[in-house]
Chains A and B, each alone.
Chain A
Amino acid sequence: MNTIKRAGWLLLGSMLWNAAYALDLGQDLRKALQEQVQKKAEERPGAAANVLSGLVGVSQENEIAIGRQIAGNLLGASPLVKDAKLQKYVNNVGRWVAAQSERPELPWHFGVIESNDINAFAAPGGYIFVTRGLYAQLQNEAELAGVLAHEIGHVIRQHHLKILQQSSLMELGSQALAKGVGDNEKAQKLIGSGAEVAARSLDKKAEFEADRIAVVLATRAGYDAFAFPEVLQQIGHVSKDDDRVSLLFKTHPHPDERLEKLSDAMGGRFDQIKGQSLQKRFYVLPKR
């Protein structure tokens, strides 16, 4: 994909999101926006390249402040499952997997939230949440590690942050944040409304990349590399008419496509590796 086109895509994405009614934008409006954005990118190719290479990057402190705000919004919609053992367990697994990444020093936080949806969310700075619905689908610790590793992949490659960086609000936000990191109101201005950014569609490529990272981080951590693909198999079986997966399927490529891509990337590289699944240690959710 050429640089300008990609910049256009990302910019369009963030403009759509800036508009409060982003998801219902008509085709005509979409087209008009696209043209406008492309024209701008063509006028100032240097600016687009800058943005892409992350030169206008945010400091880690700001990244965490932004992520915390998104996490708080998400928890406002779906609180944590009231089960301290579960939350601690998920943090143990997640932190161990994150320690195998190139950003082990981030203040990683993991949690299971109260929702029957089958989904997981990542916010910048290392805030990661799995829904009760997804957790209930998991069979062992290696599967949990794989799911968390996919989200860790989004965080370390800054997939969501990059989308935020494209937004026109970014400049305003940086100015605001420069005056006081962690100020909720200012971070809120930057991320726009609610927690939608944590669930929003990323480039398909970003999803495939996070899938590849997931199997690698799980492997590095000593887990069975094939546990994550097993989860994709499971999710692929849920009917697309099922409300529990409507948001997931809307924002991610279908699990079949993900499995196919992952299979090509893994090839025979994992043939000799025997990781653990730790089914016995897996914390099973008590029945409600």
Chain B
Amino acid sequence: MRTVLLGMLLLAAQAVWAAETGTALKAETLRAKPFADAKAVASLAAGAKVSILKKDGGWLQVKSGKSTGWVRMLSIRKGEARKAGSDTAGLLNLASGRAGTGKVVATTGVRGLNEEELKAAKFDEKEVEKAESYATSGADAQRFASQGKLKTRQFDYLPQP
């Protein structure tokens, strides 16, 4: 009995874990299909929380409250909103007794490149030559693209909105 209960709890936990959530970056319309001219089924307020169900090209199928529909991927920020995220982190820290100890584990032992290091950097001729030795010719790039069945298409640069 206990094992079954534990199993159920684990399953429940997994289900919660699997549902990817997001936040609407702006007010949007939920549509019946992943097309701009598909029937509108509901509207989504900026900042609304959604669960992400499916992806198709640049579109996501999401559930918000009782409505389900398709919305452009770029209108949704995956994960919790930034503010909410840090609040959650705060709660977690509190729960694990880490509150007030400053930075969280994720950063421990990870050292980044900083401006001082970059400024102090000394030219390394051998390493540049090595980098240059890996260069790909235009013809080789073409072959590489064909192997991956990559097809070029015309597409104009985007104007500044």
Contact = CB atoms under 8 A, between A and B. Distances in A.
Interface of A: 20, 23, 68-69, 71-80, 84, 87-88, 90-96, 99-100, 104, 107-111, 115-117, 119, 127, 131, 141, 184, 188, 193-196, 198-199, 205, 208-209, 212-213, 215-216, 219-226, 229, 233, 236-237, 239, 241-247, 256, 259-271, 273-274, 276, 278, 281
A264 B140 CA distance: 36
23 contacts: A73-B118, A73-B123, A74-B121, A75-B127, A92-B136, A92-B140, A93-B144, A95-B141, A107-B135, A109-B134, A116-B110, A117-B112, A205-B160, A209-B160, A226-B73, A226-B74, A233-B79, A241-B103, A259-B74, A260-B25, A263-B25, A265-B161, A278-B150
Contact of A241 (B104, B115, B155, B160): B104
Interface in B117-145: 117-125, 127-128, 130-132, 134-138, 140-142, 144-145
Contacts of B134: 84, 87-88, 90-91, 109-111
A269 B158 contact: yes
Given A117-B112, A265-B160, A278-B150, 11 more contacts: A95-B136, A95-B144, A104-B138, A109-B135, A117-B113, A127-B131, A209-B160, A239-B104, A247-B112, A265-B161, A268-B36
Given A95-B140, A109-B132, A109-B135, A242 B150 contact: no
Given A75-B128, A212-B157, A184 B123 contact: yes
A222 B125 CA distance: 35
B82 A216 contact: no
B77 interface: yes
B2 interface: no
B107 interface: yes
Residue of B103, B120, B154, B159 with highest tally of chain A CB at under 10 A: B120
